Amino acid sequence: MKRNEKRILERIIPISIILTWATIRKLLISKKVIGIIVLCLIPVIIFSLWRFDMFPEDREVLYKSRWENIPELEEKVTDENVTIDINLNSFNIVFPLAVSETFRLDISFSGTTTGPVDHLLIKIFLYFDESYPATNIFDQISPLLNGTLRGAIDLNVLVFKGTGAQGDNDWRTWEFKLNYQPLVNETLGNGFSEDIGNGLPVGTNELSELIKPRLGFYLRGFSDNKGTEKNWSFTYEEVWLEFDEEALTDFGVVGKDTKEVSAVEDGYKVFFDAALPIYFILIIPLITILYSISVIREDIENHTMVYLLTRPVSKTEILFFKYKGFIISAWIPLAISLSLSFFITASNEGSIFLHTGYVGTILLLMTLMVFAYGALFFIFALITSYPTVLGLLYVFFVETLIYQQSNVINRFSIMFHIQSIADGMLGDIANVGLYQLTTVTDSLIILIGVTIVFLTIALYIFSYRDFT
């Protein structure tokens, strides 16, 4: 190794340590640290209170969906001795928003019966709010439509599974699982398909804005031993789940009865439906704005950058080590806060470590966001005296408004790629299926590439502008 190269290597380590530490220390002693702590604590406190039922009314708000017993059918219970209890195990429904996307319904529930039941019939209805003109949609989804309920999809499932001591024919206990994802044969672009075969409506129209979907099902028990001319229907239990429009969030449409779903799953849902969006949309962007801009801007405005620029340290090193200091300073409180929120919401009956793999994925997503946003906000801090305003405008317009667009423009937001990775790595649990996203690999490459490009631009500006 040449003498000069060795010397450069020998000096780079202490310089790296001192510059990174100086950046961290400066952020730690700045008043901004109070804001960071508050931002990180808010979700932890909110979800701690939720976990310990300190404000159950807010728990309702988080779900934005509810069970309703509507409407009464004409058929009535014919045998008071037969009862059916239903427990909903899991439930997920995904509505399509683009031509290439498909409707998906996953449902799982189980229950018990009393009385001489030898098989069950389940009917599942999905129907849409009356405000949506049925002719535009329901004419196209035949043959699945049933005209009895306006615009409803009616699935009749005659036989499923008994799980009592006598096996499949024993209906004292039973379980039902349905995964329904119709094939889409043909589409018409900006609108719904005309001849969709056995598929469901797809199109670029945003269903979430047009319709108010409701899903309901009822269960009836039958016995061949009773009666001679026909199967007797003994009883039915009917439940309806209605989605508020607000429930159709970016993270998918999830409805469940808080009383019926187990607490562990409930916690996951709360974390992925409520906590994670708060971090992604609010806390992570705000913390990166506060810290990354401060790291650069304060030295420019206080005229202290000159002390760094007049040392045998290259501008690349100064910028890179400042960036490194910012990453560490922002990452640690965010990682602690995110992990705490996750374990608090998902904790129940000692099962909090069942899915710790999720934490790794969530931290990866957060890290990618901090890297990309940090590099972008470094540019803002270098080109304008009002980088915070610019940063907030960017987050609002690009990462919120543009990201929510259902066409290709949303791919220009960082959030879109974060969502793609979340969708790919977390799957249904994150309920991000509203959009058809890119692959995990594509989005990872894009985010890493974007971060490198942002840092290169920041370095170019830093090298040529007069900050003294």
Give the residue, chosen from 23, 24, 26, 250, that forms a contact with another protein under the rule CB under 8 A: 26
Q: Confirm or reject binding of residue 131 to another protein (CB under 8 A).
A: no
**Which residues inside 146-175 make contact with another protein, applying CB under 8 A?**
none
Report which of 215, 73, 219 is spatially closest to residue 148, judged by C-alpha positions.
Answer: 73
Q: Confirm or reject binding of residue 312 to another protein (CB under 8 A).
A: yes
For another protein, which stretch binds (CB under 8 A), given 14-22, 111-119, 272-280, 419-427? Answer: 14-22
Residue 153 region by backbone torsions, left for phi larger than 0, else alpha for psi between -120 and 50, else beta: beta
Measured between alpha carbons, how far is 331 from 293 in angstroms, rounded to an integer?
15
Q: Confirm or reject binding of residue 225 to another protein (CB under 8 A).
A: no
**Burial level of 361, CB count in 10 A (0-12/13-18/19+)?**
middle
Q: Confirm or reject binding of residue 309 to another protein (CB under 8 A).
A: yes
Q: Confirm or reject binding of residue 143 to another protein (CB under 8 A).
A: no
Give the residue, chosen from 131, 135, 228, 468, that forms a contact with another protein under the rule CB under 8 A: 468
Q: Identify whether the C-beta of residue 146 lies closer than 8 Å to the C-beta of residue 152.
A: yes
Q: Confirm or reject binding of residue 302 to another protein (CB under 8 A).
A: yes
- DSSP codes joined into one string, 395-443: HHIIIIIITT-SSGGGGGSHHHHHHHHHHHHHGGGGT-TTS----HHHH
Q: Confirm or reject binding of residue 18 to another protein (CB under 8 A).
A: yes
Return the axis-axis angle of helices 414-426 and 357-383, rounded to nearest 10°: 170
Give the residue, chosen from 81, 100, 456, 463, that forms a contact with another protein under the rule CB under 8 A: 463
**For the window 321-360, what string marks contact with another protein as x by the rule CB under 8 A?**
----------------------------------------
Q: Confirm or reject binding of residue 28 to another protein (CB under 8 A).
A: no
Q: Confirm or reject binding of residue 6 to another protein (CB under 8 A).
A: no
Residues 6+ apart with CB under 8 A from 102: 96, 181, 182, 183, 184, 199, 200, 202
Cα Dmax for the chain: 102
Q: Confirm or reject binding of residue 24 to another protein (CB under 8 A).
A: no
Residue whose CB is less far from another protein, 177 or 465: 465
Give the residue, chosen from 54, 73, 306, 383, that forms a contact with another protein under the rule CB under 8 A: 306
For another protein, which stretch binds (CB under 8 A), given 115-123, 255-263, 310-318, 415-423? Answer: 310-318
Residues 6+ apart with CB under 8 A from 126: 93, 105, 152, 153, 213, 214, 215
For another protein, which stretch binds (CB under 8 A), given 6-14, 158-166, 240-248, 404-412? Answer: 6-14
Q: What are phi and psi of 95, to 5 degrees?
A: -95, 145
For another protein, which stretch binds (CB under 8 A), given 4-12, 50-58, 279-287, 383-391? Answer: 4-12
**Burial level of 291, CB count in 10 A (0-12/13-18/19+)?**
buried
Interacting residues with another protein (CB under 8 A):
10-12, 14-15, 18-19, 22, 26, 29, 302-304, 306-315, 463-464, 466, 468
